[in-house]
Amino acid sequence: MTLTFSPSSMLFGPAGRLDFVPKFAASGARVGILDLEAATPEAFKDAHRLALAVADLEAAKGSSMRLFVRVNALDTDHFQPDIEAAAAAQVDGIIVPLVEQAADVRRARQAMHDAGIGHLPLMGGVETARGVINASEICDAGLDLVYFGAEDFVTDIQGRRTRSNTECHVARSLVVLAARAAGIHAIDQVVVATSDNDRMREEADEARTMGFSGKLCIHPGQVALANAAFAPSREEIEWANAVIAASLEADARGAGATTVDGEMIDAPIRVRAEQILRVAAAEDGAV
């Protein structure tokens, strides 16, 4: 499925706080996420699921923001009723955490189909060692987006969480490579230090450089930083337009390559320029 929206910022909130939905939109989040999993305590999952099922979420959104629900993991008793509640609430997409193999994706897709929402985008969370090892088959199995969850991953490998992200570098790389090979979007890990704007900027910039399409956010203040990091700058857009213009001129005279500001421009670089302009157009449409 080709996404019709920008996934540059995806903001989590507990499913029990439906009043957060208009706040998601006001923050500028491209996707708001009502979380029935980690942000909903076990004792409240049933009640919050029931409230979600009867909520008028479309009226609450009041914007072009998409609204997803993160359901509980496939191996819990909550998974199936969560899917049914999300379908009743007419959300825009489903997120399944802790995906570890292709069969998990197929099972989630079947549950969505049975609930009448098989057409919606499906996002899977790769956040365990097994999930990372199987990232390629997971991304090929029918996801539209995938996210890398650093906190669960580091716990799973019994590692140590650091600001440098050294412990996550290989896993993040494998997930984004698997996603791009499958032709889907990869969304980067959260920054749990919600008041550390410098860290958010650094991680988001690094994630974009690595090939991620967006960042998971857990505080409204992180949203604008993510949007800024994943939106091409004015200089990038000007460069992309110059590359396209020079490439078209080269095509007209039968040349396979040309130069812009002393830099050789050939087919891969032209494609990169086209990618930048598509992302810029998507971000413009999301504002």
pLDDT 10s digits, 92-101: 999 999 999 9
Whether 192 and 243 share a structural domain: no
- Beta-strand (E) ranges in the chain? 9-14, 31-35, 66-70, 93-96, 122-126, 145-148, 185-188, 214-217, 258-260, 263-265
Whether 281 and 149 share a structural domain: no
pLDDT in tens, 143-171: 999 999 999 999 999 999 999 999 999 99
User: Can you tell me the distance from the alpha carbon of 20 to that of 14, in angstroms, rounded to the nearest whole number?
Assistant: 8
User: Can you tell me the distance from the alpha carbon of 281 to that of 231, in angstroms, rounded to the nearest whole number?
Assistant: 9
173: CATH: 3.20.20.60
Compute the mean pLDDT over every residue in the chain, rounded to the nearest whole number. Answer: 93
Q: Are 151 and 161 in contact (CB under 8 A)?
A: yes
Q: Give the Cα-Cα-Cα angle 67, 85, 146 (nearest 5 degrees).
A: 45
Please tell me the total count of domains within the chain. Answer: 2
Whether 87 and 206 share a structural domain: yes
User: Can you tell me the distance from the alpha carbon of 29 to that of 277, in angstroms, rounded to the nearest whole number?
Assistant: 21
Q: Are 57 and 83 in contact (CB under 8 A)?
A: no
- The answer to the question of residue 2 being in a domain is no
Q: Are 265 and 243 in contact (CB under 8 A)?
A: yes
Position 287 pLDDT exceeds 60: no
Instruction: List CB contacts of 263: < 8 A, sequence separation 6 or more.
Output: 269
Mean pLDDT of the 111-134 span: 98
Whole-prediction pTM:
0.91
Residue 240 banded pLDDT, cuts 50, 70, 90:
confident
Residue 162: predicted pLDDT? 96
Whether 123 and 151 share a structural domain: yes
Whether 21 and 119 share a structural domain: yes
Whether 248 and 141 share a structural domain: no
* Termini Cα distance of the chain: 22
User: Can you tell me the distance from the alpha carbon of 14 to that of 35, in angstroms, rounded to the nearest whole number?
Assistant: 5
Whether 220 and 262 share a structural domain: no
Residue 102 banded pLDDT, cuts 50, 70, 90:
very high
Residue 247: predicted pLDDT? 84
Domain end among 207, 230, 253: 230
Q: Are 125 and 97 in contact (CB under 8 A)?
A: yes
Percent of the chain with pLDDT over 70: 98
Q: What is the dihedral of CA 104, 181, 115, 93, to 10 degrees?
A: 120
User: Can you tell me the distance from the alpha carbon of 252 to that of 46, in angstroms, rounded to the nearest whole number?
Assistant: 64
Residue 216 pairs with which residues in a beta bridge?
10
Whether 26 and 125 share a structural domain: yes
- The answer to the question of residue 114 being in a domain is yes
User: Can you tell me the distance from the alpha carbon of 244 to that of 265, in angstroms, rounded to the nearest whole number?
Assistant: 9
Residue 60: predicted pLDDT? 67
Largest Cα–Cα distance in the chain? Answer: 70
Tokens of 42: 């076990």
Whether 101 and 213 share a structural domain: yes
Domain end among 200, 230, 260: 230
pLDDT in tens, 272-282: 898 889 888 87
Residue 215: predicted pLDDT? 98
Whether 247 and 133 share a structural domain: no
Instruction: Give the position of tokens 């189909």.
Output: 113
User: Can you tell me the distance from the alpha carbon of 156 to that of 132, in angstroms, rounded to the nearest whole number?
Assistant: 11
- The answer to the question of residue 241 being in a domain is yes
Nearest CA-CA partner of 85 in 63, 53, 56? 53
Residue 286: predicted pLDDT? 62
Mean pLDDT of the 107-115 span: 98
Whether 159 and 66 share a structural domain: yes
Q: Are 146 and 122 in contact (CB under 8 A)?
A: no
List the domain range (segments joined by +) for residue 277.
234-286
Whether 102 and 244 share a structural domain: no
